């Protein structure tokens, strides 16, 4: 049973499942999902419909057709309803203000959805694999990966997809295309969703603060990911070689090294890569290009990840007993054992677990000689 409650914005309620709607026409269309006779079968998946018009709309999921265009920004949609909802983002009157950032909305329902960005709430769950999503539309898109029929095949690897737009997005893995750019810092992304997540780092209000360093975040989910830097947790594991990663995106990038097909070959050595982007990064070894510069000391790096790691040396976590400095608070705690731990000449104790095996290699043979 749906948990919808009739409101001023959605006064039309389905008496069978409780779902609510803004317009009576939407309720009428919805009622067809409860009809048992569904003679209109989709030829590309197992879905069936009671009206031919519903099948026509559903087919756009597979073809990628989006015939409804916003005349203001050009964004396109598969149905007129989502277009009408979208048009509200261009409305001047936006009385529903987010209390955690400067966003404002013309409808309270939009604010409710937006708040999930800050709370991390993902109320839509996949019944097959359990993955959760912020929006129902994202869940619907995800469900296609569980479909058996995947007619849209990638010609550069073994991947196949149930919808042509999914193949188009996947091809960016091979081409390196990143069509979504941040207007603040210029960083580019493969997916618009990744750009939207990134934009939060430029927000002034960051209420989620790390208790182990000076970092702060706009969303609790970002803080959760960041904490893995301090805890060392790497929950994403490669099924091929067992290597683990802090983020799923890093795992996905890593998986490409196990692909048999590596069509992007270096003309200066024998290396070959599955993605053109990997080849571009590799070419810096030969060219000496180091495009990432430290704003503090001007040191340059081949990879952005190396720059990020380097920046931590400028963070002042200092030991108050000596002149040592560290990039992380946890490192200072480990270092303090050097000053506080007792180390008698016999029955030794060790400040770091990694020192114990080294000690055993020297002490155990001597003990056996005297026994």
Smallest CA-to-CA distance from 70 within 56, 93, 88, 54 is with: 88
Task: Note whether 12 and 26 are within 8 A (CB).
Answer: yes
Which element (helix H / strand E) includes 143?
A: helix 136-143
Task: Note whether 216 and 207 are within 8 A (CB).
Answer: yes
Residue with tokens 């990638």: 154
For the whole prediction, is pTM greater than 0.85? no
Residues with Cβ within 8 Å of 289's Cβ and at least 6 positions away in sequence, in order, are 283, 302
Domain ranges of the chain: 236-314
Gyration radius (Cα) of the chain, Å: 28
Residues with Cβ within 8 Å of 141's Cβ and at least 6 positions away in sequence, in order, are 166
First CA to last CA distance, the chain: 76
Token pair recorded at residue 14: 């389905």
The predicted structure's pLDDT at residue 7: 55
Give the C-alpha separation, 60 to 90, whole Å. Answer: 26
Token pair recorded at residue 51: 């009206």
Give the C-alpha separation, 275 to 305, whole Å. Answer: 18
Give the C-alpha separation, 244 to 225, whole Å. Answer: 14
Domain 236-314 has CATH 3.40.50.880: no
327-350 average pLDDT score: 60
Confidence of residue 360 (pLDDT cuts 50, 70, 90): very low
DSSP for 353-365, written as a single string: TTHHHHHHHHHHH
Confidence of residue 316 (pLDDT cuts 50, 70, 90): low
pLDDT tens for each residue of 122-165: 888 888 788 888 888 788 777 777 767 788 888 877 788 877 88
The rounded mean pLDDT for the chain is: 77
pLDDT tens for each residue of 81-95: 888 878 877 777 788
Name the region of 18 (left: φ>0; alpha: ψ -120 to 50; beta: rest).
Answer: left
The predicted structure's pLDDT at residue 9: 64
């Amino acid at each position: 049973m749906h948990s919808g409650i009739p409101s001023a914005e959605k006064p039309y309620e389905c008496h069978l499942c409780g779902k609510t709607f803004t317009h009576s026409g939407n309720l009428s269309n919805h009622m067809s999902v409860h009809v048992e006779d569904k003679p209109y079968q989709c030829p590309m998946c197992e879905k069936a419909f009671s009206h031919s018009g519903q099948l026509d709309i559903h087919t756009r999921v597979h073809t990628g057709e989006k015939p409804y265009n916003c005349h203001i920004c050009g964004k396109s949609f598969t149905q007129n309803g989502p277009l009408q909802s979208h048009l509200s983002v261009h409305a001047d009157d936006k009385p529903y203000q987010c209390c955690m950032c400067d966003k404002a909305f013309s409808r309270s329902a939009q604010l409710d959805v937006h708040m999930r960005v800050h709370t991390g709430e993902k109320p839509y769950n996949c019944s097959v694999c359990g993955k959760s999503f912020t929006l129902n539309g994202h869940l619907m898109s995800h469900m296609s990966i569980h479909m058996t029929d995947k007619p849209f095949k990638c010609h550069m690897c073994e991947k196949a997809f149930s919808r042509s737009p999914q193949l188009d997005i996947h091809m960016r893995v091979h081409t390196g295309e990143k069509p979504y750019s941040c207007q603040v810092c210029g960083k580019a992304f493969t997916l618009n969703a990744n750009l939207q997540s990134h934009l939060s780092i430029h927000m002034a209000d960051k209420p989620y603060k790390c208790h182990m360093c000076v970092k702060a975040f706009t969303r609790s989910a970002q803080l959760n990911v960041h904490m893995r830097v301090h805890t060392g947790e790497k929950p994403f594991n490669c099924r091929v070689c067992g290597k683990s990663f802090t983020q799923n995106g890093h795992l996905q990038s890593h998986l490409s090294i196990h692909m048999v097909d590596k069509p992007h070959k270096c003309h200066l050595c024998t290396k070959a890569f599955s993605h053109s982007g990997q080849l571009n990064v590799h070419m810096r070894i030969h060219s000496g290009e180091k495009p990432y510069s430290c704003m503090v000391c001007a040191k340059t790096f081949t990879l952005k990840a190396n720059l990020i790691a380097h920046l931590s040396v400028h963070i002042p976590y200092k030991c108050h007993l000596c002149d040592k400095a560290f990039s992380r608070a946890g490192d200072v705690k480990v270092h303090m054992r050097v000053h506080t731990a007792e180390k008698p000449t016999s029955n030794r104790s060790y400040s770091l677990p990694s020192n114990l095996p080294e000690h055993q290699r020297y002490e155990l043979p001597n003990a056996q000689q005297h026994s």
